[in-house]
Amino acid sequence: MRPACRSTSHPQAPDNARSCPFRGRRPGRFAALPSMSTLKQRLARVIPYFRDNSRGALALACAAMVVAAATEPAIPYILKHLLNSGFKDTAGLPIWSVPLAIVVLFVIRGMSWWVSSYGLTKASQNAVLAVREHMFAHMLRAAPALFTRNSASSITNNIVYEIQTGANLLMGSVQILIRDSLTALFFVGYLLILNWRLTLFVVVLFPIVGYLVRVVSKRLHKLNVAGQNATDELAYVVEENVLAWRIVRLHGAARQEQRRFDNSSRLMRSLNIKQQASGSLMTPITQVLASFALAAVLWMALAESTRSHGTPGDFIAFITCMLLLIQPAKHLSDVMAPLTRGTAAMERGLDMMELVPVESGGKLAPGRVKGDIEFREVGLRYTARDSDEAPDGTLVAALSDVSLTIRAGETVAFVGPSGAGKTSLVNLLPRFVEPTSGDILIDGAPIRDYTMDALRTQFALVSQDVVLFNDSVAANVALGADADRARVRDALAGANLLDFVLTMPGGIDAQIGHNGTQLSGGQRQRLAIARAIYKDAPILILDEATSALDSESERAVQAALEVLMKGRTTLVIAHRLSTIEHADRVVAMDHGRIVEQGPHAALLASGGLYARLHAMQFRGA
């Protein structure tokens, strides 16, 4: 169920597709890059973030792991000499030197493991910091497609959780790979010194285990990707129900939403079980193979003992080494699950950066513009998704051949039924939406020639959907700039909000909570108007700017807006036609086209669309 809610204007969606903000969005499935054929290639994609930000820490960790691994064969070596000498020959050293040597070995090994863990943890956290900062910076500059293709929960999950989880799993896996590979290498080297023929029975295991690792890793990668998508589905269901809890309760939809949640939870449980089952498969297989190798070695050793001069110490050292080799082999067989999971998690963040490019503008940065606007045969089409008007995937025209000239300082009101294209037309100006045809010019220059910053500096927006940040009143008014306290107070006064703000604890420094939860609906709207006043842009966009105000506040704010609008180009999107009677021009739109335009009185007299809308709104008033 998509929660029913009042019409909202999504930045990328044309307004004849406007509906609940969840409509038409899938729960954050970043389109997959071309499939990486091997784990090595996938690792090559993410390892540079660790290597390039922590070369010193990684080098220290690797050196420490080499030292630790080198101490592993020392115990079998000591046992060999003690057994061969009958515990009598200590090479002239005091008896206590042997136990002391063992303690020293374990101290060196423990310190080395600690240093390696610290180095890899530092490398992991440095990589998380670098990738997370890169991802957030990319998100702030990404094309609007990022926000229309993915839910907020999916983007949040990738930036905050997936990268952290992926980096931790990846570094833990790398530590096991390096540490236990080195340990196995030193053990095999010592086995070769002891008896190279018997060692061949051990070495033959490696290609078999390697083949199994390759097969299991492919299976795990598929399951991990499916598990991440299932996590996004579950988070999406929770996100919808948190934001639309009033609607869910009002319509008695709790059971239906519970079923959605249960289905997503069961799918996630099933995938997690499959991941665990596949990841755990390597351990018993490796142990069974090791048992065959151990049995073969015992058979060969017993056979050799009847015709060679091998010592009991050599045999015990060899068997001890083999038994100790099983543990790193087990760790190496178990590492595929976290390694694949960590790589997949890191790749999701990289996909987010690579699949959606940053916004690109031109090089024009003229400073403050006069405010002349021209639309030349502008068209806009979008792909229908979950739409009642058209099947999924159909191209729907939001605007068709719109041509309109607005003079600097002119106030133009856009009216029309829902889905007429009013918000779509206005969203083209700051390039929240890109036209599919035609040109848009400001002061005679195409908007695509402006830098993004220079273009958007020219606009101030007050929408019916107010967005506030969990910060102070002053920070919200001066959003994007340093707060000048005098200007903040003037802007609040102009929006008829200063008296109330001064009664709050902290005044203009008072915290307003998540999206302004400490304020009423009217106060939130007036704070947004104060933000527009503070920005002092040459072009104002007012989308039902007074819709949430009571009559008394509306009159005061309307008067402030009229003063603010003088000398500025103002575009007003209005459903309450009483608020636009004094506009210089009214543009009536229907089905993405301009059907008539002119002064309020002239359009009333013509008896067209505007007159009909006006009559419907004021009938019986």
Q: Residue 412 CA to chain centroid, in angstroms?
A: 39
Residue in the structure block whose two tokens are 């490796």: 286
Would you say 134 and 68 are in contact if contact means Cβ atoms under 8 Å apart? Answer: no
Which ranges in the chain are annotated with CATH 3.40.50.300? 410-429+456-618
Task: Taking each helix axis as running N to C, give the angle between helix 336-355 and helix 163-194, from 0 to 180 degrees, rounded to the nearest 10.
Answer: 140
3-class DSSP state of 437: strand
> How many Cβ atoms from other residues are within 10 Å of residue 213's Cβ?
17
**Residue ranges in the chain modelled with pLDDT below 70:** 1-39, 84-95, 201-202, 204-206, 209-210, 213-214, 217, 243, 246, 250-251, 279, 281-283, 286-287, 290, 293, 301-310, 384-394, 546-553, 556-557, 560, 563, 619-621
Q: Which of 460, 436, 505 is nearest to 369 (CA)?
A: 460
Write down the pLDDT at residue 9: 36
DSSP letters for 27-75? S--PPPPSPPSSHHHHHHHHHHHHHTT-HHHHHHHHHHHHHHHHTTTHH
What is the token pair recorded at 596? 């008539």
N residues, the chain: 621
> How many Cβ atoms from other residues are within 10 Å of residue 42's Cβ?
20
Give the whole-angstrom CA distance, residue 432 versus residue 212.
50
Beta-carbon-side half-sphere exposure of residue 462 (alpha carbons within 13 Å): 34
Give the whole-angstrom CA distance, residue 267 versus residue 479.
42
Write down the pLDDT at residue 29: 42
Q: Which of 287, 281, 124 is nearest to 217 (CA)?
A: 281
> How many Cβ atoms from other residues are within 10 Å of residue 484's Cβ?
14
Which ranges in the chain are annotated with CATH 1.20.1560.10? 38-355
CA distances from 498 to 406, 486, 532 (A): 33, 12, 15
Write down the pLDDT at residue 598: 92
Pairing of strands 445-446, 437-442: antiparallel
> How many Cβ atoms from other residues are within 10 Å of residue 612's Cβ?
12
What does the pLDDT look like over 454-467, one tens digit per residue?
A: 999 999 988 877 88
Residue in the structure block whose two tokens are 């905050």: 160
Q: Tell me the CATH class for 410-429+456-618.
A: alpha beta
* DSSP code for 442: E
Q: Which fold has domain 38-355?
A: ABC transporter transmembrane region fold (1.20.1560)
- pTM here is 0.70
What is the token pair recorded at 23? 């409509």
Cβ within 8 Å of residue 191, ≥6 positions away: 198, 199, 202, 318, 321, 322, 325
CA distances from 541 to 464, 523, 536, 545 (A): 11, 19, 12, 9
> How many Cβ atoms from other residues are within 10 Å of residue 69's Cβ?
24
Q: Which of 355, 333, 344, 345 is nearest to 36 (CA)?
A: 344
Q: Which of 55, 19, 445, 88 is nearest to 244 (CA)?
A: 19
Write down the pLDDT at residue 429: 93
Write down the pLDDT at residue 13: 41
Would you say 430 and 459 are in contact if contact means Cβ atoms under 8 Å apart? Answer: yes
Cα-based angle 501, 503, 504 (whole degrees, multiple of 5): 70
Give the whole-angstrom CA distance, residue 510 versus residue 522.
18
CA distances from 489 to 216, 466, 478, 608 (A): 64, 20, 11, 44
Beta-carbon-side half-sphere exposure of residue 447 (alpha carbons within 13 Å): 28
Instruction: Pinpoint the alpha helices (H) of 281-311.
Output: 282-305
Write down the pLDDT at residue 547: 64
Write down the pLDDT at residue 7: 35
What does the pLDDT look like over 160-193, one tens digit per residue?
A: 888 888 888 888 888 888 888 888 888 888 878 8
User: Strand ranges (DSSP E) for 434-535?
Assistant: 437-442, 445-446, 459-462
